[in-house]
Amino acid sequence: MDRKLLIAANWKMNPVPDGAFEQDSPYKTHSAVDVYVFPTFLDLPASIESKIITGAQFGRAEETGAFTGDVSMQMIKEAGCIAVLCGHSDRRAFHGESNEDVAAQAIAALEAELHPIVCFGETEEERDSGKAENVIKAQLKPLPTESDIILAYEPIWAISRGDPNKPAATSEDAQEMHAFIRSQLPEDKRESTRILYGGSMKSENAQELLTQPDIDGGLVGGASLKPDDFRKIVETAIKLTTNN
């Protein structure tokens, strides 16, 4: 089955990159490749108005209530978003989100008719001690994988690697884990579920990663803040799609 590549830009808590909301923005989507952008909450309206496919970086599972500082999935949908990140490693680390919290967010996102992009992945220590697959199984277990969700495998040890001596995951490492993740999905969703890779994807390694059979796109952090780099990643994805 052909799974359409998706390149998602996670701007985290950073200002909007130069020119992102202008006419020739590299963040606009394409017919051949989906491009989604995840700005801060404050920048969502401008992103939506610029006709960019926009998502929120977090949404709370409850619809309303005494949850100071949070925003519900329904509110995100009503604002005009298409998607939402659930369980990014920053949220798991800094806000203590558990696997069950993340699953509740994904379910609430589906109920609000948002596309949940569920992030998960092992730490360096877990990988080095041979526990990566078990950690991932536990992260996947409570998720509504029988529904149409998008997964983003983001090995924590590979995120934001600027140091050339500590490279991102190789395409072989990533492919091996993506194939394992796919094998854990319900049989009728195994072929159709998109599994993105996240962890220092940039213009230099995008082609190698995106040609792996079980990698269906990228969740891009650092390189998504550099419009020229991001444009190259999207162009690579378009080239790979149209050459096939």
Residues near ligand PEP, by CB under 6 A? 10, 154, 159-160, 198-201, 219-223
Q: Which of 97, 122, 126, 154 is catalytic?
A: 154
Compute the chain's Rg from CA coordinates: 17
Return the number of the residue (143 or 174) whose C-beta is nearest ligand PEP. Answer: 174
* Minimum distance, C-beta of residue 238 to ligand PEP, in the bound complex (Å): 20
* Minimum distance, C-beta of residue 221 to ligand PEP, in the bound complex (Å): 2
Q: Which of 22, 88, 126, 133 is catalytic?
A: 88
Whether residue 88 lies in the annotated active site: yes
Return the number of the residue (12 or 182) whose C-beta is nearest ligand PEP. Answer: 12
Return the number of the residue (104 or 152) whose C-beta is nearest ligand PEP. Answer: 152
Return the number of the residue (154 or 214) whose C-beta is nearest ligand PEP. Answer: 154
CA distance 50 to 46: 6
* Minimum distance, C-beta of residue 219 to ligand PEP, in the bound complex (Å): 5
Whether residue 154 lies in the annotated active site: yes
* Minimum distance, C-beta of residue 146 to ligand PEP, in the bound complex (Å): 25
The catalytic site residues sit at 88, 154
